[in-house]
Structure 1
Amino acid sequence: MNRGTTKAERTRNFIIERTAEIFNKKGYAGTSMSDLTEATGLTKGSIYGNFENKEEVALAVFEYNYQRVFKLVGDEVAKAGSFYDQLMVYGQVYKKVIGVIGNRGGCPILNTSVEADDTNVALQLSAAKAVFSWKKNLIRIIEGGIAAGEFKKDVNAEQMAVSIIALIEGGMMISKVTNDDANMNHVLLTVEALVKEIKLAA
């Protein structure tokens, strides 16, 4: 337990951690207050004493869920030496990510984006923020690789970044709806092929 946190912060974190999988699996609309009280063992009053409403819990949970995914990827990127190796992580590490998040309801960005589209502006904006952050990280790697002479100079960093994100998110959607991980493997091979295509010959 972190001694630097207050009791209120610890309670909030407890609620977030205990309800993270439920929200990711059932979605905002499908998650009831009874789901939250059952998962946490707390009363409705205790939960609302730490969060203004269910939407505030859902927003905090989404942040928690997607940060877990980003940390898994970020830890692998940090181990990679070259910019090429860093970018290749996105074609390779998601096999590990899927294993971690698969039983927890899948990709939180994908789940939240689909559910929040035109129905919940706050959740939609949170999902968009996560995508923008992901894109920014990819652009940084690609531009770093161009500057270091690892990638071709005419590479459109933003286009490449968006394409990688779209492939990964689309692959997870297809794999989930078909219940076939082979579809995701096909997509990840395509991501690797894209990265190899922009690499300058040694």
Structure 2
Amino acid sequence: MTKSEHTKRFIIEKVAHIFNKKGAYGTSLSDITKATGLTKGAVYGNFQDKDTLAEACFDHNLKFFQKGLYKAIATQGNAWHKLEMVFAFYEEGFPFVYANGGCALMNSAVEADDGYPLLKQRTRSTFENWQKEMEGVIREGQTTGEFSRTANPTSIARLIIGGIEGAILVAKSTQDMDSFPKTLNHLKTIIEKELK
């Protein structure tokens, strides 16, 4: 790793959680310099502008989500077990998500939807990929006879995503961490009934 790459990584690791909590608009240059201990020139010597840094922080924050999701889906077992592993990943990872300002994907999507075009397409494609992965697991269960063939994979995938993201939003907004696993368990029950 070159010195420049090391510095870029250092900056991202120091400020990614700030961007997640405050957003790209709300994160100031003074937030960045204070967190890193670097000068404005040092920051902008490594990133073209704040937008470029915001994108890099989005990618960094998203890695936690992507690794956990793909690990759950790639697990051995039947389709329902894979869905259970997705729910388990979110339940186990929720304290980390909560402490770091909520779901990076949701936070970025909300900010991007309000006129931040740089991240708008990135968040959209991430949600679309997540939906495709969930649809794939559901179709796998339909092929093996585990799930009803009349179940709509797209609708159920969207219900899973919306339910998880909504549970995070409510728990974070009300500062009630205990509400998340309760909502997640209820969502799991609903999904299981939908797939029978």
TM-score by length of 1: 0.89
Q: Any gaps of 5 or more consecutive residues in structure 2?
A: none
1:36 partner amino acid: I
Partner of 2:84: 88
- Counterpart selection for 2:69 from 45, 70, 73: 73
- TM-aligned CA deviation for residue 70 of structure 1: 2.1
Match of 1:18, SS state, is helix
TM-score, normalised with respect to structure 2: 0.91
Segment drifting more, 188-197 vs 160-169:
188-197
Contact 1:16 1:61 in 2 (8 A): yes
> What residue is the counterpart of 2:6 in the other structure?
10
| Percent identity over paired residues | 36
Matched, 1:37 2:36: no
Q: Distance in 1 between matches of 2:71 and 2:36?
A: 30
Equivalent position of 2:151 in the other structure: 155
CA distance in 2, matches of 1:92, 1:42: 39
Aligned to 2:17, the other structure's residue is in SS state helix
Report the number of matched residues.
196
Q: How does 1:63-142 map to 2 (within 5 A)?
A: 63-142=59-138
- Counterpart residue identity of residue 100, structure 2: R
Where in structure 1 are there 5+ consecutive unaligned residues?
none
Question: 1:87·1:195 contact (CA, 8 Å) conserved in 2?
Answer: no
Q: Which residue type is aligned with residue 58 of structure 1? A: A
Counterpart check, 1:49 vs 2:45: yes
Amino acid at match of 2:102: G
For residues 155-194 of structure 1, the aligned pairs below 5 Å read 155-194=151-190
Q: Is the 8 A contact 2:72 2:86 kept in 1?
A: no
Q: What amino acid is aligned across from residue 50 of structure 2 in structure 1?
A: K
* C-alpha RMSD over aligned residues: 1.7
- Write the letter of the residue equivalent to 2:124: A
User: How far is 1:69 from its partner?
Assistant: 1.8
Indicate the SS of the match to 1:52.
coil
d(CA) in 2 for partners of 1:52, 1:39: 19
Secondary structure in structure 1 of the residue aligned to 2:48:
coil
Distance 2:129 2:177 in 1: 26
Whether the aligned pair in 2 keeps the contact of 1:135 and 1:162 (CA below 8 Å) is yes
Q: The residue matched to 2:11 in structure 1 has which SS?
A: helix
Q: Matches of 1:13 and 1:151 in 2, distance apart?
A: 44
CA contact (8 A) 2:151 2:195 kept: no
